[in-house]
Chain A
Amino acid sequence: MPVDIRRLLIEADKPRETSTLELTQALCSVNGVDECDLVVTDVDARTETVKLTIKGPHINYSDLKKAMDDNGIAIKGIDEVNVVKARKSTQT
């Protein structure tokens, strides 16, 4: 049964060199993503821990993961997920 990922709350580490603005813009450009919130929760010498809230009608997780990899993001865990049964018009 096809499903759509509507919302993800991801905890991740990012290099301090990676700009939060550029990162959120890159993630928001991913197929099926409408909104991206970022909160820095911890700061280390070389890295920052961030909580990312990704929202969209049908988030393409593999594209999202690719965009995160490209920006040097290390996913620590997916804390929350919202998935809905896909309607035909929104299937990817």
Chain B
Amino acid sequence: MNAFDGALTILGVIVGFVVSGGGSPRLVLSAGVGASLAMGISGAVGAYMAETAERRQQLRELENHLFRSLEGSRIDRAAHQAALWVAFVDGISPALAAGIPIIPFLLVLKGIVVLQVGIIASLILNLVMLFILGIFLGKVSGENIWLRGLLMVGAGVLTALILLALSVI
């Protein structure tokens, strides 16, 4: 779900850029890269701390059942490795979800596409990412993948609409 946070955050940055009247695409890139990095580090550190605490507690419970310490055992090592992998995935997913939709702004900066095309491409990329994320979650939970995908896109559209409404006020 950290990827969802990343995608929606960057959607907020892009819509905010549009409603503020635009400007240099460097603004979106700087804000986007900053947000991606911060979310990546926050996701990784947060997940690592939470995972290690939870797995350590599970290990202690198991130790109480076995009446012996499991420190240094395969289970201990596996728990630590699992926490590291979860931290890696939780760190990389929001960074990727936030980083990919701002690629069109890089093309705008290089003069390959015009700003309007960059904004539209970026918004489409963002919604596509949300849709793919919804499909993935639907597949994992065994629910209707298309419905899940559309729900995710709906959340993105709703966020954009709220931001647009706020800009009018």
A contact residues vs B (CB 8 Å cutoff): 13, 15, 17-18, 44-47, 69-72, 74
Interface size range on B against A: 10 to 19
The secondary-structure label for the interface of chain B is helix
List chain B residues, Cβ under 8 A from A69: 73
Q: How far is the CA of A8 from the CA of B168 in the complex (A)?
A: 80
Closest chain A residue to B66 by CB distance? A74
Q: Is the CB of A47 within 8 A of B66?
A: yes
Contacting pair B68 A46 (CB below 8 A): no
Nearest CB of A to B75, in Å:
5
> How long is the Cα–Cα vector from A68 to B70 in the complex, in angstroms?
11
Of A13, A45, A46, A72, the residue contacting B73 (CB under 8 A) is A72
Assuming A18-B74, A46-B65, A70-B72, what are 13 further A-B pairs, CB within 8 angstroms?
Answer: A13-B66, A15-B65, A15-B66, A17-B75, A44-B65, A45-B65, A47-B62, A69-B73, A72-B62, A72-B70, A72-B74, A74-B66, A74-B68
Q: Which residue on A lies nearest to B76, using beta carbons?
A: A72
